[in-house]
Amino acid sequence: MVGADASRPLRPTDPRELGGYTLLGRLGEGGMGCVYLARDPLDALVAVKVIRADLAGEPEFRQRFRSEVERAKQVPPFCTAEVLDADPDHDSPYLVVEYVDGPSLSHVVQQRGPLTPANLHGLAIGVATALTAIHGAGVIHRDLKPSNVLLAPGTPKVIDFGIARAVEGQPGNTRTDQLIGTVAYMAPERLDTKARKALTPAADVFAWGAVVAFAGTGRITFAADSMPAVAVRIMTAEPDLDGLTGPLRELVEAALAKDPKDRPTARDLLDRLLTRGPDRALSSGELPRQAAAAAEAGSRFAVVDADPTSLRPDAAPRLRDSRWAKPVAAGLGATTLLLGGLTVALLTGALPAGFAAAPSASTSPSASPTPSPSPSLSPSPSTSPSPSLSPSPSATPKPSKPAPYRVEKLNRAQSWSVRTDDPDGATCRYGNQAFEVTTLKDWSYQCSGPDDTLADFRVEVDVALMDEGSCAGIWFRYRALHGYELRVCEDKVRLMRHADDDPSNGRTLVDIPLDKPLALGKFTRVGISAAGPRFRLFLGGKEITRTPFENAQFTEGRVILGVSTVGKEGASPWRVRFRNISMWQSAL
């Protein structure tokens, strides 16, 4: 949450003062009420969250609100937005929390790419510390996600933990029951429509694993084409952790276990991160099972018995800006799940942003350049049939890919070298957490990479075209100026061959027009798989070759990154950025 100027003007119907707090503007609106920027009697900025009138009329809700606020006040303020004040008995019950000044993790990854290993380890410690404190106070967060992690000075702060939950409607109340949360970071037990499981701290641990994986890879761990597909992947598939290595990867894998009993506790996450450090592997059996910790916790935790018999998207959600959470990459955003059973909601979190399809698995959060609080909307009931997210009995989880032999974030010099001495002004350099290749002439320029000679292989890399007319070049099976090139431009992808009898700029083997032009400056995952003479091409996580293309001219060679141009389009310089490259010694 940064900058008080990001708030929106008050509406004529909004209060101007509440409990001694002067309201200055609107920060957001969600299923539980409105969030306002305000000044306290000492002229300090705070955030005031006001409960909806219909919920305020439910005595059971007020009682639960009161008890959970008291619990939340016990959470140490160094790792969360501190609860400063609350009045559950006011005509409009309200909560006052610290106004945190700092960008969200989702915004930082969007702007700068995945965190460096040292910063990632620090983030993992900070969030595990926050969860340990929250769970120690008997609170379950219920909506941990990158947009709810603020990188405030000193230590990350986790905001929007579940201070209040709506209760099941009174007799005659026809409001649709709902569970609000961000699907991409929900634990499997929250999505299983056949099981009846209580919500425990293990759900937050699962979310921790997904958040750390996102921070380290720049990708949503279980990304898919739609919200139901994401949910099925969470329940059945192995996580995509390409880019994470070593002990931290092992700890993330443990946190993402399907069975909540198999996950470590938040305290154990913290212990392992602090005592083992980033350079020591975990031994099998070191992580205690969550069941024992849950038993020790007893009734301190407010659990949710949900009997989800239906699951469907909300009807025509309307996006609003808010300061409390930003939809994380990928257009999955905060999503509303309508479930039978107890109505569960967060006061400020998980403000739904609709069921948009996820973009490429590597795409950074689709957020505005200025970090803003969570988009929010008021869910409306839907009477349409609910598609079940439970996998069919015959469904078989897709086997996970083997680990790549080379993984580089391309945010510092490793295998791809810096080059700034070209007489025509072309450069290969690192900046903005990416590897940027620039040419000043209307021709291609290559940047030397590893000397690996590959035959059958797969390579994936995030690509951003920075200027009109620029194209990303990925040369493969390339040696002595001969080989293949995948040229990715704004409106098409072109596979080319460079041989003795080909034109100087290469011979086009196949052109694949794109249904939607690539947005300048936005990263898209690009992949090439080569098995013998057969090539498969991928863009945004989807294969764009309807059938494998075949050419047997060259059988092995290097992978090289660079920039190409669309003749006479745009103006110098032409720039392309690369990040998060993974390479396999098989076609997968």
**Tens of each residue's pLDDT in the chain, 588 residues:** 444 445 789 999 899 999 999 999 987 776 577 888 999 999 899 989 888 888 878 887 788 778 778 777 778 888 888 889 989 888 888 989 888 877 889 889 988 899 999 899 999 999 999 999 888 887 888 889 998 898 887 778 888 765 544 333 333 333 333 344 578 999 999 887 666 667 889 999 999 999 999 999 999 999 888 888 899 999 999 999 998 988 899 999 999 999 999 999 999 999 899 875 544 433 333 333 333 433 333 323 332 222 222 233 332 222 222 222 222 232 223 322 322 222 222 222 222 222 222 333 333 333 333 333 333 323 333 333 333 343 444 444 445 568 898 999 999 988 888 988 888 889 999 988 999 999 998 889 999 889 889 999 999 999 999 999 999 999 999 988 899 999 999 999 999 999 988 888 889 999 999 999 999 999 999 999 999 999 999 999 899 998 889 999 999 999 999 999 987 788 889 999 999 999 999 987
What span, in angstroms and rounded, lies between the C-alpha atoms of 496 and 528? 13
Angle at 227 between CA 388 and CA 326, to 5 degrees: 140
Burial class (CB in 10 A: 0-12, 13-18, 19+), 559: buried
Are 438 and 312 in a shared domain? Answer: no
Residue where one domain finishes, among candidates 298, 316, 337 = 337
Residue with tokens 């992580």: 287
Residue with tokens 């030397």: 448
User: Is residue 305 within a helix (H) or strand (E), and if so which, with residue range?
Assistant: none
Report pLDDT for 317. Answer: 26
Is residue 342 in a domain?
no
Q: Are 164 and 68 in contact (CB under 8 A)?
A: yes
User: Is residue 535 within a helix (H) or strand (E), and if so which, with residue range?
Assistant: strand 534-539
Report pLDDT for 343. Answer: 21
Tell me, what CATH number does 291's domain have? 1.10.510.10
Burial class (CB in 10 A: 0-12, 13-18, 19+), 172: exposed
3-class DSSP state of 532: coil
What span, in angstroms and rounded, lies between the C-alpha atoms of 466 and 472? 10
Report pLDDT for 505. Answer: 83
Tally of CB atoms within 10 A around 91: 9
**H runs (alpha helix) in 23-73:** 53-56, 59-73
Are 412 and 333 in a shared domain? Answer: no
Q: Which residues, in sequence order, are CB contacts of 148 under 8 Å at separation 6+?
A: 104, 141, 158, 159, 160, 324, 325, 349, 374
Are 317 and 431 in a shared domain? Answer: no
Residue where one domain finishes, among candidates 280, 308, 337 = 337
What span, in angstroms and rounded, lies between the C-alpha atoms of 233 and 345? 24
Q: Is there a cis peptide before residue 308, judged by omega within 30 degrees of 0?
A: no
Q: Are 475 and 495 in contact (CB under 8 A)?
A: no
Report pLDDT for 63. Answer: 81
Report pLDDT for 372. Answer: 34
DSSP 536-562: EEEETTEE--SS-EE--S---BEEEEE
Are 333 and 454 in a shared domain? Answer: no
Is residue 118 in a domain?
yes
Tell me, what CATH number does 429's domain have? 2.60.120.560
Dihedral sign of CA atoms 450, 456, 457, 463 in order: positive
Tally of CB atoms within 10 A around 509: 17
Residue with tokens 């990854």: 109
Are 424 and 284 in a shared domain? Answer: no
User: Is residue 118 within a helix (H) or strand (E), and if so which, with residue range?
Assistant: helix 117-136
Q: Residue 574 corresponds to which tokens in the numbers above?
A: 């032409």
The amino acid occupying position 506 is G
Are 533 and 426 in a shared domain? Answer: yes
Are 263 and 412 in a shared domain? Answer: no
Are 296 and 411 in a shared domain? Answer: no
What span, in angstroms and rounded, lies between the C-alpha atoms of 494 and 515? 14
Is residue 132 in a domain?
yes
Are 423 and 291 in a shared domain? Answer: no
CA trace torsion 352, 355, 356, 357 (10° rounding): 140
What span, in angstroms and rounded, lies between the C-alpha atoms of 477 and 498? 10
Q: Are 339 and 178 in contact (CB under 8 A)?
A: yes
Is residue 459 in a domain?
yes
* 246: DSSP letter: H
What span, in angstroms and rounded, lies between the C-alpha atoms of 526 and 582? 11
Q: Which residues, in sequence order, are CB contacts of 229 under 8 Å at separation 6+?
A: none
Q: How many residues does the chain have?
A: 588
Are 517 and 434 in a shared domain? Answer: yes
- Give the side-chain half-sphere CA count within 13 A for 578: 30
Q: Are 211 and 145 in contact (CB under 8 A)?
A: yes
Q: Which residues, in sequence order, are CB contacts of 357 under 8 Å at separation 6+?
A: 225, 226, 331
Are 326 and 438 in a shared domain? Answer: no
Is residue 389 in a domain?
no
* 390: DSSP letter: S
Report pLDDT for 196. Answer: 61
The amino acid occupying position 244 is L
Report pLDDT for 401. Answer: 62
Is residue 240 in a domain?
yes
- Residues annotated as catalytic are 143
Is residue 137 in a domain?
yes
Number of H helices, E strands in the chain: 10, 25
Q: Are 554 and 432 in contact (CB under 8 A)?
A: no
Q: Is 49 labelled a binding residue?
A: yes
Report pLDDT for 193. Answer: 66
Are 464 and 322 in a shared domain? Answer: no
* Structural domain that includes position 464: 406-584
DSSP 119-133: HHHHHHHHHHHHHHH
DSSP 174-208: -PPP-EEE-GGG--HHHH-SS---B--THHHHHHH
* 234: DSSP letter: H
Residue where one domain finishes, among candidates 303, 320, 337 = 337
> Phi and psi for 470 in degrees, rounded to 5?
-85, 145
What's the number of domains the chain is made of? Answer: 2
Question: Nearest Cα to 302, choosing from 350, 345, 265?
Answer: 345
Is residue 56 in a domain?
yes
